[in-house]
Amino acid sequence: MHAHRREEFSFLLAILSQDVLDFSQFHLPKADIENLFVDEDALRKQFGAGPKQPLAPDKFDMLIGQHNASLLVINGEHSGMSDIKLAHCLDPEPLTIRNDASYIPLNVLDNCELAVRRRIKGSETQLSYPQMDAAAFYDDINNADLHHPLYLASA
């Protein structure tokens, strides 16, 4: 600009591309990926992760976590918690106590609407009195022999 080369500078700006990918410094070498599928065990070994935590035990076990309570009582809260964390890292416990996909906890059912609870239960509650026969009721209304006009008695 100071050397009165304004035209050359304008020309250089004009030949520059708007796309950054046109410049060679942005063309990085690409490595070929040999195996697209990597299984979970290989990733656990590569990153040093612990064993997989199961979602539910194979059989119903109500005593999951019972050992943790005894560790807290014996070792105290501070050291007991560190023992529980270490034991969980080495051998993780299942997240739930039952392996039943159709089981819905009662506190979840209590929060559902009545119609949803009935549908889940599979049967609608029967009323204490029998259901009315609508066709017979309509026939009774139309039967003039059963109904007499209402006579008002004068006082």
What pLDDT is recorded for position 44?
A: 87
Q: How confident is the model at residue 31 (pLDDT cuts 50, 70, 90)?
A: confident
For 27-92, the DSSP string reads: ----PPPS-S---HHHHHHHHT--PPPPSS-SS--TTTTHHHHHHHHHH-HHHHHHHHHHHHHHSP
More confident: 37 or 24:
37
Of 59-63, 108-112, 127-131, the range with the lowest mean pLDDT is 127-131
Q: How confident is the model at residue 58 (pLDDT cuts 50, 70, 90)?
A: confident
Q: Is the distance from CB of 105 to CB of 96 less than 8 angstroms?
A: no
Mean pLDDT, residues 134-148 taken together: 78
Question: What's the one-letter identity of residue 153?
Answer: A
What pLDDT is recorded for position 111?
A: 92
**Chain CA centroid to CA 20, Å:** 42
Mean pLDDT, residues 12-35 taken together: 74
Place of tokens 């309509």: 138
The candidate with the shortest Cα–Cα distance to 92, out of 125, 67, 120, 121, is 67
Q: Is the distance from CB of 90 to CB of 78 less than 8 angstroms?
A: no
